[in-house]
Structure 1
Amino acid sequence: MYTIKKVAEMTGISGHTLRFYDKEGLFPYVARDQNNVRVFSDEDLEWVRTVKCLRDTGMPLAEAKEYVQLCLQGDATIPRRYEMLRKQLQKAEQHLVEIQDRMNTLKMKTEYYKGVLEGKRQDLWNPVHFTRADRKPQRKEKDPSSMPA
C-alpha cells in the first residue's frame, strides 16, 4: 500500500493533482485507512498510470473520466473505449510529428549558429536582417544601467 506522497514520487503527479483526480472519480478503488488517509494498492497504481498517460497525451479531464466510467461498466464498453484510445493515439501521433518538425528546425538553426560561432558563415538568419533598413524596432530595449539592481 502506498501513500499519496509515495505515489506522487513514483509517478511524477503532484499530491494535489492525485487528490483532485481521486475526488473526480478517476481512481475508483482507492481505499482509506483508519485516519481517512488515502492508500493506493498496486492495482490503484495502474489506474494512476493509465490516467497519467491519457492526460499526458492531451486527453481532456472529462474524456478521461468518461474512459474510467466506461471501464467500470465492463466489457460491453470495449468498442467505445477502443475508439477513444484510437482517437487519442492519432492526436498523440500528430503532436509527435509537430514536435519532430520543431526539433528539426532547432537542430538546423543550432548547426547554423555553430557555423557562425566558428566563423564559417555570417549571421543572416537574424530576423533583423529580414526587415527594411529604414525600419526601426517598435519597442525600445531598456538601458540595463537604468534598471533596479
Structure 2
Amino acid sequence: MEKTYLTKKAVALTGLSVDTIRFYERKGLIEKVARDKNGYRQYSQQDIEWLKIIGYLRTLGVSIPEMQQFIHEHGNVESSYQQRLIFMENYQQIVGERIAKLTDIQQQLVIKVQLLKRMGNKL
C-alpha cells in the first residue's frame, strides 16, 4: 500500500501553504487528491513530488496558465516524454542564467560593501 500524507504533512514536505496547495488543486495543476473515509485529503508521494515541482516552476515565474497548458497538452506520459523533457530543459537553462546573473550581482555587492567599509574606516 502506497504511503499517503495528510494536508499538514504535505505542507511540511513541500514548503507550500495549505491555501496554495488548495489553489493548485482548484486550478487543476494536480490530479484529484484521494480522500480517506473521513474526507481528509490523502496526498501520495507522487502528489508531493509534483507539488514541489509546481512550487519550483512558480518561483521561476512560470504562470498558472502556462502550467495548465503544459499539463493539458502533455498529460499523457508516454506521448509527451520529449515535450516534457524540452519544457524542463528550457527551465533548467533559465535557472542557470539566473544563477549566473545573481552570482554577478553578488560579486558586485561584495566589492561595494568592501569599498564602503574602507571608506567608513577613514572617517
TM-score, normalised to structure 2, is: 0.82
Higher Cα Rg: structure 1 or 2? 1
> Which portions of structure 1, spanning 4 or more consecutive aligned residues, are displaced by more than 6 angstroms?
none
Kept in 1, the 8 Å contact 2:13–2:48? The answer is no
Structure-2 change in CA distance of 1:74 and 1:10 (3 Å): closer
Where 1:73 maps in the other structure, the secondary structure is coil
Once the two structures are superposed, the pairs formed by residues 1-149 of structure 1 within 5 Å of their partners are 1-119=4-122
RMSD (Å), alpha carbons: 1.9
Secondary structure, in 3 states, of the residue corresponding to 2:37? Answer: coil
Tell me, in whole angstroms, the C-alpha distance in 2 between the residues paired with 1:32 and 1:72: 22
Given that residues 4 and 38 in structure 1 are in contact (C-alpha distance below 8 angstroms), is that contact kept between their aligned partners in structure 2? yes
Greater RCO between the two (CA within 8 Å, min separation 6)?
2
Partner of 2:52, secondary structure, is helix
Residue ranges of structure 2 left out of the alignment (5+ in a row): none
Normalised TM-score (structure 1): 0.70
**Aligned-pair CA distance for 1:29:** 4.8
Number of paired residues? 120
Percent sequence identity over matched residues? 27
How far off is 1:107 after superposition? Answer: 0.8
